[in-house]
Structure 1
């Protein structure tokens, strides 16, 4: 009879200490807490036979600390080999409880919306916490596509902040190729115009985002590169 797998006990203690003072409201402090939590989750799930990747808003916090604060952590969790435990068992052993679609540990909410992350990922080290996060270009692409095709101006605002934060660190070739495939290259150009205006003077960002969005909706989408 096999012995049930147990994660190292110190990982749960580390997680409890990381969350002992609650979840910070300040975006920068929250980003550093996210990094600490992800370092613990990375160790726990990797030891059990899984790869965990931070995606969504939490990943934006890691790549550009202070510009955004997510309400929960979105993870992609993939089984790497014959796992020593079920995904749910790892969460439970870390002190999480299941509430609806989330796992909760004190004030921290974690969701696993996908089991596979097809986008490029990076292994990062933030203040000694090592973990995997989806590439910044993939995050930016999703925000730009959401701005154009879903009409979410908040995504446009986040994309502009990300463009300013990332600067020359972006793989522009990959990003433009992805946006062409999503028929959203024109949305990138619109957001770059707004970004330039904001850097040279006072701009009503919300109004400009709505204005450019209206323009994008009025003209035909450019053909995708795969057409």
Structure 2
């Protein structure tokens, strides 16, 4: 008799009560996710995370009394630390890059569909950070402006990858999750996770967005 997995314990941090209410309703409609707390600012989010120990935190960037960037950085220091998915409207694009540096593992647009929101939480909880194709394309435009010197350097760095790792990197750059990559490339999710881990290690990168940016600079993503 197999045991039922524990639901994904999720914390919502947003200064707009309507956003929190909408997110809670969407997440709690799923049998495998439970919302264990809501915070209206970054300070409250960190305090609740210390007490409640969520698996995933949905974190707005712009909040009073402690913004989401500072809170994300502080959450990364907790043990265990929740995986942070940043909520953004892209009103202030520079915040997105900062969120990456501070430890965010995924990005979710506030106008995302219910399915995308659920997928983002599940992906973060499983260690498969989700960045939607829309977000990935925007990030590439922001941070991967093509330059001849960058192209040459990026291509040289990618030369250490195997052919299969190149395929996986292309899929990561397209915003696919590990599950989607497994289906597309006809391999198991465990194999995909191994490939992604090896790619990040070989390239000395810390997350999938950095890998996508490097692939873009090398000319792999057009």
Q: Normalising by the residue count of structure 2, what TM-score does the alignment of the two structures yield?
A: 0.31
Higher relative contact order (CA 8 A, sep 6+): 1
Bigger CA radius of gyration:
1
Q: Normalising by the residue count of structure 1, what TM-score does the alignment of the two structures yield?
A: 0.31
* Structure with a larger share of its residues in strand: 1
